[in-house]
Chains A and B, each alone.
Chain A
């Protein structure tokens, strides 16, 4: 399977705990995005990387959220001191961008569903 993969698929945690999610993009893709989606809403942008550089982070994103892509391949998203409002589907997507300003289709992984009790 050469698509985007995410682990774990489901995570249940207690309020105040830290959680970490992993995303493996399509192998040749240089851009990796994180989104969050709650029921009845469209995906909300969190952050994105081009290779290992984090190029943009949503202003809505709490300081409890941090993401890394250390070698320009897989990425991790960590949420510290989780709150019930963090319960959502966390989606990872990847794309291949060749030229500056060139935006191409993003392909999504299956998501990680987080439930904070």
Chain B
């Protein structure tokens, strides 16, 4: 079992719809959670971070964290074709280690 699991997709949604991306992790000691967007051939770009249970909203993006269920999700409202990318979930232990463990990403396609 991988430490961070994501559905590989592809996930396809129509323009204007809500896209829901999910991630589960195995290490109960995880404390910091991040969502990155990665366009084909480019490097990951940080879009959201979340550190405590509940929801965190930033524009069209909402991250949701449930540590008891070891689950983190990303909602994208009013999806746009420019949101089409691979979304990577990353998890950190809150120790001096600091490294991120990544899932393999979910590919999202937003159709006009």
Contact = CB atoms under 8 A, between A and B. Distances in A.
A40 B46 contact: no
Interface stretch (B63-71, B76-84, B91-99): B91-99
Given A43-B88, A103-B31, A105-B49, A111 B43 contact: yes
Interface residues of B, number: 28
Interface stretch (A63-71, A73-81, A93-101): A93-101
Interface in A25-65: 31, 33, 35, 40-45, 48, 50, 55-56
A110 B8 CA distance: 23
Given A101-B95, A103-B92, A103-B94, A42 B46 contact: no
A109 B31 contact: no
Contact of A48 (B46, B94, B98): B98
A56 B45 contact: no
B21 to A, nearest CB: 13
B19 interface: no
A35 B44 CA distance: 11
Most buried by A among B96, B100, B101: B100
Interface residues of A, number: 29
A17 interface: no
A56 B97 contact: yes
A42 B23 CA distance: 13
5 contacts: A42-B4, A44-B102, A48-B98, A48-B99, A55-B97
B98 A91 contact: no
Contacts of B31: 103
